[in-house]
Amino acid sequence: MKKTVLITGASRGIGRAIAVAFAKAGYNLVITCSKSETELLHLKNDLERDYSVDVLASIGDISDFEYVTQLFSHIEQRFHGVDVLVNNAGISYVGLLTDMTIDEWNHILGVNLTSVFSTCKLAIPHMLSRKSGKIINISSVWGNVGASCEVAYSACKGGMNSFTRGLAKELAPSNIQVNAIACGCIDTQMNACFSEEERATLTDEIPAGRFGMPEEVASLVLTLAEGNEYLTGQIITLDGGWI
């Protein structure tokens, strides 16, 4: 029987690479995004055509608990539940904290952190019934050390890291593993805001001498999903030795 994975923020970048990796491994997929409907539907069609997997694509605001509840209702009807949950959806805000509005704060917190609460809350019952499951949260090195002009983003990812550790302890007796990957500079659209000069400066700071690739994150996610059941509560840094 095929396992099912839910990947949030799957239309591009890291999320898309994760979806491809799981499709290659033969999983059924649930993929979501908030705005990039055309890209998400193209991905669904590509995965179904190339890997003969069943894909449920959903467009909606992952920070909205009602939307997540409806999503899980569709998942239960189609797949009965999810065996692997990958919380990848995320947005950034670059700027001084004093320039940030309360609405901007609430929005980034909702997408980056509240969504993790919502998806985990609704995914766990099925995992508990099977005494098996994997939850993998896509975090950032800024959740470990903080970043100037990305205070809200850092706070969200730091919260995700603590959430990961706490939930891992809560679910370990039920054979459900919860881990996070703290990514460094990954070559995605989110980091396309950097100028060539800024990219060169960042690259010089990374011992590996380059940005990471989305496929490298995806490979680690799949390894965690299929790997060691004693590995839980870990924040695994993937940054080329940068931080």
- Quote the pLDDT of residue 187: 94
Q: How many domains does the chain have?
A: 1
In a domain, 145, yes or no: yes
pLDDT confidence of residue 108:
98
Which residue positions in the chain have pLDDT lower than 50? none
Q: Provide the domain limits for residue 171.
A: 4-238
Nearest to 13 by CA among 56, 46, 43, 41: 43
Whether residue 243 lies inside any domain: the answer is: no
Give a yes or no: residue 148 inside a domain: yes
Of 27, 67, 93, 153, which is the active-site residue?
A: 153
Structure pTM? 0.96
> Locate tokens 């059924």: which residue?
28
State how far the Cα of 152 lies from the Cα of 149, in Å rounded to an integer: 8
Distance CA 49, CA 33 (A): 20
Residue 230 backbone phi and psi in degrees, to 5: -95, -10
What are the start-end ranges of the H helices in the chain?
13-24, 37-51, 65-79, 102-109, 115-130, 142-145, 151-171, 196-205, 214-226
CATH number at residue 204: 3.40.50.720
Strand order in the sheet with 176-183: 55-59, 28-33, 4-7, 84-87, 133-140, 176-183, 235-238
Task: Give residues with Cβ within 8 angstroms of 191, minimum separation 6.
Answer: 185, 211
Taking a C-beta distance cutoff of 8 angstroms, is the pair 234, 181 a contact? Answer: no
Instruction: Flag whether 139 is in a domain.
Output: yes
How many H-runs (helices) and E-runs (strands) does the chain carry?
9, 7
Predicted pLDDT at 227: 87
> Quick check: is 199 in a domain?
yes
CA 7, 9, 12, 14 dihedral sign is negative
230 catalytically annotated: no
Helix 13-24, helix 214-226: angle, nearest 10: 50
